[in-house]
Amino acid sequence: DIVLTQAPLSVSVTPGESASISCRSSKSLLSSKGITSLYWYLQKPGKSPQLLIYRMSNLASGVPDRFSGSGSETDFTLKISKVETEDVGVYYCAQFLEYPYTFGAGTKLELK
Amino acid sequence: EVQLVESGGGLVQPGRSLKLSCAASGFTFSDYNMAWVRQAPTKGLEWVASISYGGSNTHYGDSVKGRFTISRDNAKSTLYLQMDSLRSEDTATYYCARLYSSYIGYYFDYWGQGVMVTVSS
């Protein structure tokens, strides 16, 4: 199984400042079609997960451009610039390259 | 607007069965692969099972293989999860998710609100 390791597991950010979350994969997520199959989701408190970033660096519809994704074949970063109160929640990276689909353990973002 | 509404959760004793449903609307259900994802209390996300748009292909996580069965009724735009031989470790919120599929990959693009399943005596 592909293991996704997120760091840190918790981050506390002052509103207006930036935050970065790392996700490392145990296997390259670059598909045979040249697509990197790494995704980012945000689960706000009491809500279901919502898609933020697809295929490593593409912003999902309706997601503010304060969010950005980058990376290589195995190391990925989600960056949130100018954190706002609505960004609080747990961030998960996920891979859909192969079964079983797997998620990182999650990174909880809180405000200072 | 895409909507996925789960139902059928509740309290069930270990070893018993339960069947979850997910009613879909706002899109052509028969065009999409679908999946179930669960989240144990205070834990992370775990993919459970997926089914192809026509229902002929299914995949299961190792923790539920042989005990859970995913199915669908395209005429009713409804996804199901039959859960047999339930264990305490199956206690979780179960989410129905639409699996966006294209020639370049797959991912969950919409999620339901989730339904709670508690396995306890």
Residue pairs spanning A and B at CB distance below 8 A: 62
Pairing of strands B10-12, B115-119: parallel
Q: What is the mean pLDDT of residues A4-17?
A: 97
According to DSSP, the residues that pair with B49 across neighbouring strands are B36, B60
Local structure of B10: helix, strand or coil: strand
Question: Which amino acid makes up residue B89?
Answer: E
* Strand residue runs (E) in chain B: 3-7, 10-12, 18-25, 33-39, 45-51, 58-60, 68-73, 78-83, 92-102, 105-111, 115-119
What pLDDT is recorded for position B102? 82
Other beta carbons within 10 Å of B75: 8
pLDDT digits (tens, 9 = 90+) for B68-105: 999 999 999 999 999 999 999 999 999 999 999 887 78
| Closest Cα in chain A to B109 | A51
Local structure of B84: helix, strand or coil: coil
What pLDDT is recorded for position B101? 86
Question: What CA–CA distance (Å, rounded) separates B101 from B33?
Answer: 7
pLDDT digits (tens, 9 = 90+) for B100-112: 988 778 899 999 9
Mean of all residue pLDDT scores within chain A: 96
Give the C-alpha distances (Å, rounded to integers) separating B4 from A2, B35, B115.
28, 11, 11
Q: Which of A60, A56, A65 lies closest to A29 in space, CA to CA?
A: A56
Q: Which residues of B touch A (CB under 8 A)?
A: 35, 44-47, 50, 59, 61-62, 95, 103-109, 111-114
pLDDT digits (tens, 9 = 90+) for B54-64: 999 999 999 99
Local structure of B33: helix, strand or coil: strand
What pLDDT is recorded for position B14? 97
Q: Which residues of A touch B (CB under 8 A)?
A: 31, 33, 35, 37, 39, 41, 43, 47-51, 54-55, 60, 92, 94, 96-97, 99-106
Tokens, residue A84: 């706002």
**Residue B35 pLDDT more than 80?**
yes
pLDDT digits (tens, 9 = 90+) for A67-94: 999 999 999 999 999 999 999 999 999 9
Contact (CB<8Å) A104/B44: yes
C-alpha gyration radius of chain B: 14
Pairing of strands B78-83, A102-103: unpaired
Contact B94, B111 (CB under 8 A): no
Question: What CA–CA distance (Å, rounded) separates A95 from A3?
Answer: 9
What pLDDT is recorded for position B104? 75
What pLDDT is recorded for position A74? 97
